[in-house]
Structure 1
């Protein structure tokens, strides 16, 4: 059974199953893209790379009525130290599940191996974002409440940089093993490049997709606790056009529908 409610400015939509959630999220995502394309010649969209997004992206790939040639695609984070062809690299994940299936006008990938340093890669990506400001961000939430690779306690709501190099928190790295992206913790890189929270929030619209029991605690914290850097996802409650999609497994422990 589906339901919807609001916490601060954040609109939440809950569905009984993961598949129903993916269908609802993909339909709303497609509708948002149609609206943006009706208002602008070109649209910039940033996508997260994670198993939690896979079902929704698969349905989005069926939307042939969208003029994908007018859409520029970005992604939001990438590991440092993995070889270019590594299956766990987020750019490669998105190539498999999204970028290779749709005729985007342009695709911007974070590719640390092409630069003299990770910092140089971050600076280059920030320049590309500045040239094509984001209209829409499609993202998830980590088990520690992170957005992109902005993990507590290093996440900053007032970060000055649009893209930066970060050290990954232990629980964030453990999630990559739980998601079966890596065989063991020692395989998960310790550093990454990420788009920062202010840069994500600068998008006109945000669609956040968070299924599964592993995310239940994070969703509960983001919806029922304070807006705090200790749970970076809580900042979505301040965005004017943010929507959260969850399933019965990630439904928060404290129901705020009556709030």
Structure 2
């Protein structure tokens, strides 16, 4: 596990985007695993800049997103499909048909989960981007006594809904369920990039990367992966220098 600490968000974003760009330059048909939330926005902005300058070409790239809310209308601005279009896809030369986000409005969510897993098995993700939840979740894999390996529907914990409430008018509008890649799906990626920012994540990221491997901290299972790069801002990294 390669842990890197950055003094500025600009440096972190540039290094993260550079890793993506290097992959795509050497493998133009790369399969990317992408994430939502505030963590990756700066990285996506840097990738847009690199694409505009001609340094990275997305025309043959395929992407799979980690997760999606269940039950939000397709045109709702807080769906993760909307997020990805606004923050990245609308600004780069990627084929939208090659961008995949689970369908949180599928009539049969179990069938949608199975279909997504089948696509992931064929696609084989080259680089999976992850953020980290305050409770150690990755994707929407919440702490539990046991975890699903494959894509599945999850009931969102109250702390996760509270953390996401800032994107909605009120907590009541935050969906109670999501469809997410399982930890097993995430760990099948050839390389994993975990990005963590902010002092409020310092405890959980230290616990996830140095503590016991436990389903009560889903991110701790990343310790079992052979190729993980961790990018931390200096606030999130404070316990690694103690």
TM-score, normalised via structure 1 length: 0.85
Query: How many Å apart are 1:165 and its aligned residue?
Result: 0.7
Does residue 189 in structure 1 map to residue 172 in structure 2? no
Distance (Å, rounded) in 2 between the aligned partners of 1:46 and 1:134: 6
The gaps in structure 1 that reach 5 residues or longer are: 1-9
Partner of 1:80: 70
Against the structure 1 CA distance between its residues 155 and 70, is the aligned structure 2 distance closer, same or farther, given a 3 Å change threshold? farther
Tell me the distance in 2 between the aligned counterparts of 1:168 and 1:57. 26
The answer to whether the 8 A contact 1:29-1:207 is kept is: no
Structure 1 residue 202 displacement after superposition: 0.3
Judging changes above 3 Å, is the alpha-carbon distance between structure 1 residues 155 and 69 closer, same or farther for their aligned structure 2 residues? farther
Match of 1:147, SS? coil
Quote the residue 2:131 is aligned against: 140
2: distance between equivalents of 1:252 and 1:36? 35
Shift of the alpha carbon at 1:34?
2.5
Give structure 2 stretches of 5+ with no counterpart. Answer: none
Equivalent position SS for 2:87: helix
Q: Take 1:239 and 1:141, find their aligned partners in 2: how far apart are those partners?
A: 16
Contact 1:141 1:233 in 2 (8 A): yes
Quick one: which of 208, 215, 218 aligns to 1:229?
215
Give the Cα–Cα distance (whole angstroms) in 2 for the partners of residues 224 and 126 of structure 1.
30
2:23 and 2:30 in contact (8 A); partners too: no
Q: Is the 8 A contact 1:212 1:249 kept in 2?
A: yes
Residue 24 (structure 2) aligned to one of 33, 51, 72: 33
Q: CA 1:91/1:154 → structure 2, altered by over 3 Å: closer, same or farther?
A: farther
Contact preservation (8 Å) 2:67, 2:101: no
**TM-fit CA distance, 1:108:** 1.3
Aligned partners of 2:83 and 2:128: how far apart in 1? Answer: 17
The yes-or-no answer on 1:165 pairing with 2:157 is no
Query: Offset at 1:143?
Result: 0.7
Q: Which moved more, 1:117-126 or 1:83-92?
A: 117-126
**Residue 93 in structure 1 maps to residue 83 in structure 2:** yes
Q: Do residues 200 (structure 1) and 186 (structure 2) align?
A: yes
**2-structure distance, mates of 1:155, 1:214:** 26
Matches of 1:252 and 1:234, distance apart in 2: 18
Measure the CA separation in 2 of the matches of 1:102 and 1:78: 21
**Does residue 1:71 correspond to 2:61, yes or no?**
yes
- Partners of 1:207 and 1:36 lie apart in 2 by 17
Q: Secondary structure in 2 aligned to 1:150?
A: coil
Distance change in 2, residues 1:155/1:139 (3 Å): farther
**Distance verdict in 2 for CA 1:104–1:232, change over 3 Å:** same
Separation of aligned partners in 1, 2:146 and 2:83? 24
The 5-angstrom pairing of residues 204-215 of structure 1 reads 204-215=190-201
List structure 1 runs of 4+ shifted beyond 4 angstroms. none
